[in-house]
A and B are shown apart, each in its own frame.
Chain A
Amino acid sequence: MYPYLRLGPFLLQLPLLALLVGVWIGSALAEKEAVRLKLPSATINNLVFIVIIAGIVGARLAYAARYLSVYLANPLSLFALNFNTMAGFDGVLIGLVFAALYGWRKKLPLRPTLDALAPGLAAFMVALSLAHTLSGDAFGAPANLPWSIYLWNEYRHPSQVYETLAALAVLFVAYKKPFGQVGNGTNFLLVVALLSAARIFLEAFRGDSLILLGGFRAAQVIGLIVLAITLYTLRIWTQTGIPTTTKSESDFFKQT
């Protein structure tokens, strides 16, 4: 685990660097896929950019809203370069809402756009797992196995390695596109379904799970819900495998 690298007076956060590289590679893959699907690559790039900016700003504002009196007294703290003061889940939601609004405003066809984003999402998940490896976050449960690693004063499952291997496998599937390149959204759904399945399986080896009533692990429960929705949608979309299914989508392709 190498969370920080000192460069003179600066303390470089290596997990953050891994995430930035992930965003860069992910957006490059999304751009490439957009060209293949005859989508405007600049608009797809903007979409990724909006998700990130809206997510970061939203995460900070959502955190500040929880401590409103504190931030009203010190409004400049909103601009502090500190990742401890971000509401991560809220940030993801806000980023997705802004992306949906942008896509709707630009009349981006939903299903081809999702397919264009699929390899980028898979690449970002590889970067996220590497960030966990560097920081020691998302650590494994104590275990005495030949492949256990010594981390945080105990021998544990190398959960970050499991996560990286699973993410690489999903990236490989996203690259191979088993459903072809028709742009009907099924490649994206497949990536999300595989990521959810991996989360459900691998969460059992984690030592930092959020535990719900009855001892259920929150990530597994959420993963199951996402998997059910994804598989159901995948079933419908594979049966109606047409790239342009709505009027706005047809209009978009006519324009381009």
Chain B
Amino acid sequence: MVVIALSLGAGWTLLSRVPSTAANSGAQPASPRQGFAAPDFTLDLLGGGKVTLSDLRGKPIVVNLWASWCPPCRAEMPAIEKVYQDYKDLGLVVLGVNTTNQDSEADAATFVRQYGLTFPIPLDRDGSVSVRYALRGLPTTFFIDRKGVIRSVVVGGPMSEAVIRSNVEDLLKETP
């Protein structure tokens, strides 16, 4: 009985192997969750210019969705800025996507000045990025690797500096 059970288990394990051409971790479609390709977007930047996520392929990216009225967003922003300053020379990109559809550009600009933020602030005026990223609560942060795959998602906040730093270090460890 033991031998039969183990033989069946071993046989099924052998039969259900994943073919080398279809390793299931790299072939996931775009979806806002860990292990999937980050959904692409193009947004206007606060202060002028545009940014397209897919143009940044090859660099580790932190996408933080925030609003100026959100207390945890306020609480975690200094830590994000600090980590950005420490790692930007190593190629880290931070996009602080303002959910402008539920905020205002004037309030966002005041917030950026108040906290001395130096990373780009894309403006999600029509809420399309919030929808594409299935935003359920503010802030939400996506850690995206050099291949454009989401490695970690943190919903809610505030994130501590250690949370941000440990996730960023993981992204930077991967070879370009």
Contact = CB atoms under 8 A, between A and B. Distances in A.
Interface stretch (B27-35, B45-53, B56-64, B122-130): B27-35
Q: How large is the interface on B (under 10, 10 to 19, 20 to 34, 35 or more residues)?
A: 35 or more
Contacts of B156: 11
Contact of B35 (A80, A204, A208): A208
A159 to B, nearest CB: 12
Nearest to B39: A153
Nearest to A232: B2
Contacts of A141: 24
A251 interface: no
A43 interface: no
Nearest to A136: B33
Interface string B9-38: 110110111111001110011110101100
Contacts of B163: 77, 80, 82, 84-85
Q: Chain A's interface: helix, strand, loop or mixed, by majority?
A: helix
Interface in A208-256: 208-209, 211, 214-217, 220-221, 223-224, 227-228, 231-232, 235
17 contacts: A6-B137, A9-B71, A76-B160, A77-B160, A77-B161, A77-B163, A82-B163, A84-B163, A85-B162, A200-B9, A203-B16, A204-B15, A204-B16, A214-B17, A215-B20, A217-B16, A224-B6
A87 B28 CA distance: 24
Given A74-B162, A200-B13, A208-B24, A215 B29 contact: no
